[in-house]
Amino acid sequence: MRDLLSELQRPFRLWSHDEIFGEPCPVPAEGGTYGWHFTTAPHPALDAGRLLYIGVSPGSATSRETLRSRIKYHFRGDAEGSTVRLTVGCLLGFPCTGWAGRAR
């Protein structure tokens, strides 16, 4: 677990929106764990260049979601379906209501 956290905190490479939506997409179409970083701080209170979020895809054994589909959704989705967007919104002080987590 410590190796995974180290890899997520200090990745060898970060991919941009254009790279992820380009061909070929560098994100594998399989399950796994991913980290979300911001090279530019989304708010003065948040540091740039740090790990801000860790996610896993698929989120359940019955899901057909992949790392590729989940990461692409984070780029174009909304806070209702993207926990990255919800987390950033909460950190920035926006109301965090109307969302219910599910126990595993």
* Residue 99 within any structural domain of the chain: no
Domain count, the chain: 1
| Domain boundaries, position 75 | 2-91
* Residue 103 within any structural domain of the chain: no
Helix (H) or strand (E) holding 103: none
How high is the pLDDT of residue 66? Answer: 93
Rounded Cα distance between 97 and 50, Å, is 26
| 97, pLDDT greater than 70 | no
* Residue 98 within any structural domain of the chain: no
Q: Which of 18, 59, 17, 11 is nearest to 35 (CA)?
A: 11
| 45, pLDDT greater than 90 | no
Q: What is the mean pLDDT of residues 84-102?
A: 68
- For residue 24 the two structure tokens come to 């070929």
3-state helix, strand, coil in the chain (%, to 5): 30, 10, 60
Q: What is the pLDDT of residues 10-27, one digit of tens each?
A: 888 889 889 999 999 999
* Residue 100 within any structural domain of the chain: no
Q: What is the mean pLDDT of residues 35-52?
A: 81
* Residue 79 within any structural domain of the chain: yes
pTM given for the model: 0.73
* Residue 96 within any structural domain of the chain: no
* Residue 104 within any structural domain of the chain: no
Q: What is the pLDDT of residues 68-91, one digit of tens each?
A: 998 898 888 666 777 777 777 777
What confidence category does residue 29 fall into, taking pLDDT thresholds of 50, 70 and 90?
very high
